[in-house]
Structure 1
């Protein structure tokens, strides 16, 4: 295995766990939850990069980071690459690894057993637009936060009702000048943002990938 499909890698991210974290988003998702705000990460035919290059970038960012947060896409759709990247992080950082997955806990249990100690805290379960969104770090209240290690204990502070501060978003920019958001917005926040921008003469739209996925 020499490649991995990655949507984006960014530092710092402040809205997906405690402190200033490296955010790593996998590309490709077989779960495809209805109402997902990250439709651009679904296509498994895009984002292929060298695994060695991603590991080198993680090593470069690790000294300044308070931890690593992994999301997607769906990380467990690339289980071997996921293990390789988390093992690489462990070799360069003593800070926590937090993982979002759309799979339920039972589905990822074999991987966790095969790779003990690689994940400190995990949020499991698919996004459900038909359920309330009242809890911190969750897109819907069915999602379950599980602490797996002493390092992961710092995530106990997120096992609570969400407040206004939990709906903050990081605004991030890539090399081409495209802007995107990291975080877990409240329902309807992105639609309201588009309307506000339109009233001020700006135009915001989904990426080309997201538009194609919603049309399919």
Structure 2
């Protein structure tokens, strides 16, 4: 009897392998970051064609082999198709995917981080909140989820509104995180702090930052 597992997650990246296959990295709620083969998925008529692209979010039925997974079926709930027409949003979204890839590990359940990623990607497609604010919220709350958030920095002169925003970001329910706006001055302070924390807690270069910096500088 074949050994199947069902997981819920999002495709972080994929790469071609062989003549017609993809190998996908999927961030799952149940098993963390896993690698799975999508056989013949590069053929336009294949059952899995278009279902293992980055940002595809849904349920994946996997055959668990001795040393790897193979995708048998995929039920995609959200393709985040809006990023196809929104280069800036896609660059931010790709950064979020890469940051999640940095944090998550195989067989490490991380439902909170996956939920944060999902809400953050949806927020990037809204016009009423700046992408830079979405990024700050995502990065700070990810630090909280991963147990690395150091708190509001001591010894820095910060606006009261900045301190309040950081408290709101780090404690509010995920579905309330993207419900506010900030002045440019407060967002600037929040941005600076977020980047300081990134430089402290991320110990490797992030490729997606090169493209993202085009929109932020």
TM over 0.5: no
- TM-score after normalising by structure 1: 0.26
Max radius of gyration: which structure?
A: 2
- TM-score after normalising by structure 2: 0.26
Structure 1 or 2: more helix by fraction: 2
